[in-house]
Structure 1
């Protein structure tokens, strides 16, 4: 049985349209890609969701990894690069946001480990202080690159030197994936837990 060329063309167009839907989803107006490339490595979307503060949408978070992860320990142990993306949905002051990150680390890291993290947390706070405000559409990338460290990019610009210590990367990731995350629903969404 042969199909008419017009039917074949229609089927081909439908398949292309479906594949386009498979590679991009939209969350609160933010396009979330199925893949991201970090340091030449193609990563898969592990999960994505919205960070709420009370009833307000703050940002869309996305987690990209080389393999599916469902916990902080799996994220840290996963081989290759990793990326956490935050695309802001509302204006927020960057300085207070940086302080919230520090509090998130304090809520998830044992007190006896905090002293080793203080220099990195001060540097992280400086990054947000310099950027003054985060506006709707602004993006922050936290990229872990093996052999380099955690590279912070804000508003399209790399912010200072990489944070080289794996312990610091784990501490920062604990803000989202630790036992006391800033937003439990976002944690589940980023880990792909329904």
Structure 2
């Protein structure tokens, strides 16, 4: 399957290969969703209603399925200390939060890196994006050590206050926490920001009701 690659508008001195993997953008996961938001249970993946992170109980806010064309790529669930359908509230929380992915297809992890980096770029001002480049580089270096996720693997992007953003594969950390406090909200905006990977996935994670076609025309 082909991807449209970004031409690289950001120039960095001595960039790492891992960073260019992340900045070789395009919506590698630029998924064409079906007409309605689909929860993970629709494809047989069950998410627990709650879990604990650093002693804090998080509740399942919503789940969705990511597609490329008609191929189901992964499911994702959003866990928060308090359920909400307001994306601004999710982004402003200072408590633990978790995105939990269950892979439905094998795929290179740098595809997720490309989608996250693209999501950060689309949902950030230029100064914000430049400020986050060191964190994007750190993410790319961690992803370079993972290389590939297989069907059934569980991939987690977690925020822990006073520690930072953690990436975990099947419960094992991919590296040290990324401490930049603005990084996790920027990552979340990939899926629930003003310009998400798909609107239907955003609706599913926020457990919102999609607007009907006739309602949208009124």
How far, CA to CA, are the matches of 2:144 and 2:198 in structure 1? 23
| Between 71-80 and 121-130, the greater mean CA deviation after superposition | 71-80
Q: Which runs of 4+ in 1 moved over 4 A?
A: none
Q: Secondary structure at the match of 1:75?
A: helix
1:97–1:128 CA contact under 8 A, matched in 2: no
Residue matched to 1:112: 127
Greater CA deviation, 160-169 or 175-184?
Answer: 160-169
Q: Secondary structure at the match of 2:152?
A: coil
User: Within 5 Å, which residues of 2 pair with 1:1-194?
Assistant: 26-194=41-209
User: CA shift at 1:79, angstroms?
Assistant: 4.8
Q: Distance in 1 between matches of 2:127 and 2:197?
A: 21
Aligned length: 170
| Larger-gyration structure (1/2) | 1
Partner of 2:22: none
1:98·1:129 contact (CA, 8 Å) conserved in 2?
A: no
Q: Secondary structure at the match of 1:166?
A: coil
Please give the root-mean-square deviation of Cα atoms over the aligned residues, in Å. 1.5
- What TM-score, normalized to structure 2? 0.73
2:95 and 2:127 map into 1 onto residues whose CA distance is: 29
Q: Normalization by structure 1: what TM-score?
A: 0.82
Greater RCO structure (CA 8 Å; 6+ sep) = 2
Which range moved further: 37-46 or 27-36? 27-36
Sort the Cα spacing of 1:95 and 1:137 in 2 relative to 1 into closer, same or farther, 3 A. Answer: same
Contact 1:63 1:190 in 2 (8 A): yes
